[in-house]
Structure 1
Amino acid sequence: MSCLRIVRAAGVLLFGLVLALVVVVPPRAAAAGAIDPAARATLVIHKYEQPDALGESSDGLPLDQPSVDGLTPVAGVRFRVSRVPGVDLTTGEGQRAAAELTAAEASARVAGASGRTGVTGADGRLDVASLEVGLYYVEEISAPVGVVPAAPFLVALPLSDPHTGAGWLYTVHVYPKNPRAGVGLNVSEAITCVDEVSWTSRTAIPRQQTLDQYLVRHLLPPGVRVAGGEAGVRIALGGAELGPADALAGLTTVAGRETVEVSFTTSGRAALVAARAADPGAQVIITFGTLLPGWGIHAVDVELLIDDAAPIPGSAATSFVGCTPTPSPTPGATPGPAPDPGTSGRPGDRLAVTGSQVSGLALLGLALIGCGIVLVRRSRRERGQE
């Protein structure tokens, strides 16, 4: 083979190797180009209730209408958006650092920063505009009662266009969803003649993949005691009673009030998540009895605490009127004196006189006075005739 042929063959081989190297370059990275460090970005937060079926994940682009049809917007959720220091998205090193950073680590970096805040409107939307290029930590700092906050998350501004890979998205749409939970409390007797009543709380389970806390508190009124103590508290889920491995009942003091507190363990919270996934209507049912100290209205307040959400409240009351019948005398015992007329049989508990009774007595008095006048006149006429 001549030298010329060797040179030509080597040239063809070298061109082929160069062409192969160009083809394997990721087209998105090559086409996206450099991030403009002077650009300003907008974060659009769409807030909806978590549906029973999990939807598609967000990729930075707005979801089409069929994807949000049937979702319930959540108004009144306040967000804080804070830029994470020390992350430069205009460099490859900074982008890699952003990909490896966790939300918990970012939270420590932005601690004490004021950030940008805003509240979702009636449509559940919040636009945070004029943000510098960077990595942002997004957290909910307040939500309406009954709404469980979504977990904090990180978002890079801008994002590479996920569909074309050509260019960057400087307006990014995110869809963090909020599960809801509620609480109800019932009493066995709204008006009772006995001093022992039972209370039943029913608390909903939010649609979440994990639960860090699920705590139910029942705050008792002064003087009310729990019948049977901690052992008298019953906890059920889906018709099955739970034991201490899943839920712990205890008596404690909250805001100066004796409180029946039920906390769920790690295995118990996993059972709640599984029960909610199988049945959207699954509830935790807690029942206990109380001894009332005396007559009057006795109200119990209940609070449901889930993760970092504000307590979800509920309440119920019973009116103890003390109408327990007088017990029969013990055989052989000397019967006591009969109660005075117009009393309930308890010392010092004379029944109040009603307005109608007062009116009747007044009319009777007027009639007697009239009769007296007539009799006096008749007597005078009779004396005159004599």
Structure 2
Amino acid sequence: MKLSDFKFEVPKKLVSLYPTENRDESRLMVVNRKTGEIEHRVFKDIIEYFGDGDVFVMNDTKVFPARLYGNKEKTGAKIEVFLLRELNQDLRLWDVLVDPARKIRVGNKLYFGDSDLVAEVIDNTTSRGRTIRFLFDGTNEEFYKTIDTLGETPILKEWIDRKVEAEDRERYQTIFAKNVGAVAAPTAGLHFTPHLLKRLELKGVEVCPITLHVGLGTFRQVDVEDLTKHKMDSENYDIPQSTVDKVNQALDNKKRIVSVGTTSLKTVESSVTANNKLKASSGWTDKFIIPPYEFKIANTLITNFHLPESTLLMTASAFGGYDLVMKAYQEAIKEKYRFFSYGDAMLIL
């Protein structure tokens, strides 16, 4: 498929700047692949579609406050550093993006807070990319606590055009977030509440965790028309044996395996045995799913409404079928569904 196949206009007013007051009261579009039917519901109605033995695969990654503001040595010029991933814990080496890039060079020292944290630039990786080393004498626990104190929630300002607020630290995090390492939330999971999870449990639905630390590469602009030439950044994942056992049992019993989000979908599809079962594994995946694609594990998908030409939309289209998903998106625009991270959800059956 081509990049231009995913080009359409989303009115700016439909890109949601804030989440709904209650997580499970966002709107839910239900898309049935067999009938082509589209329903309009509320997210908490989702329990009506599932029952005993069905499995929800949820990404339990936890977003950390990855955006740091500081000053450059000598000049005191204001700078922004976006932490992408830790390269070496012992040496405190990090892969980062910097702004303004032209002013931040190898050898520069960067100061954050009231000089509570100092970093040195040790390498250029891309035009905006740098490798930095934090000069911090405390324990790892103290270091991460300092990052947590000084850092800002990394909502994507390119699309959510407002200042980060205190509430974002809670709302841009799923209630089941556990393993720290993501720079963006697995947004399909933002709609779940403890009460909704309890109601699913009472219906016999199993909730199974996997971890995929979402990186910025998931949101990076695709700049090639031929999608087979697009390369995804690698993201770290883990699929525990306990999840594998429950998912494979559900597969054997022909139950619904519900991928909560495209990140969960990508993760389970990255670890499939020769006889199309899920296997326990951990490592890095750069899997990029575009139509057409034969899914081996998940048979149901919960996902948000994504922006045009995004890799997330391409993956959702591979799952739901390109024509049906494009039709659903036109319906969503017409019905004024809310788009992107804080927007509404789609259930593809």
TM-score scaled by length of structure 1: 0.23
Q: Which structure has the greater CA radius of gyration?
A: 1
Larger RCO: 1 or 2 (CA < 8 Å, sep 6+): 2
Q: Which has the higher strand share?
A: 1
